[in-house]
Copies of this chain bind each other. A is one copy, B any other.
């Protein structure tokens, strides 16, 4: 059981709608159960540097099965996971990566980058909720 391309497109559409509603151009990446890229969209005028960040956020969330912001709380200087970002070819540990769940089971993750981290998290959550409730 993993995410289908149709599901990924529906999640991305929900995320894009939220991004448009709050007026921020976003990069939106979705990975499957195996943390492999399933889909990606860069909205017009979204930051070029956020292509890589959105993909890394989706992967980071699935790598550790938690929202990326949770990892960032643990990776600070003096924290238990200090500088974990050096692993896996580079992690992103600030908010914007959120798990995708189906019937309580993790089937992938969405990563969003392009605005403030609060906006990124809000848009990623909108995508994830459209999936869970869809």
Contacts and interface: CB of A to CB of B under 8 A. Distances in A.
B76 A78 contact: yes
A87 interface: yes
Count this chain's copies in the assembly.
4
Category for how many chain A residues contact B: 35 or more
Contact of A92 (B9, B48, B87, B90): B87
Contacts of A116: 80
B83 A83 contact: yes
Interface in A8-67: 8-9, 32-44, 47-53, 56, 60, 62-65
23 contacts: A5-B43, A8-B41, A33-B34, A34-B35, A34-B36, A36-B48, A37-B51, A38-B41, A39-B39, A39-B40, A47-B64, A49-B63, A49-B88, A52-B87, A53-B87, A56-B87, A75-B82, A76-B78, A80-B116, A83-B93, A85-B86, A86-B91, A87-B92
Interface of A: 4-5, 8-9, 32-44, 47-53, 56, 60, 62-65, 72, 75-78, 80-95, 116-117
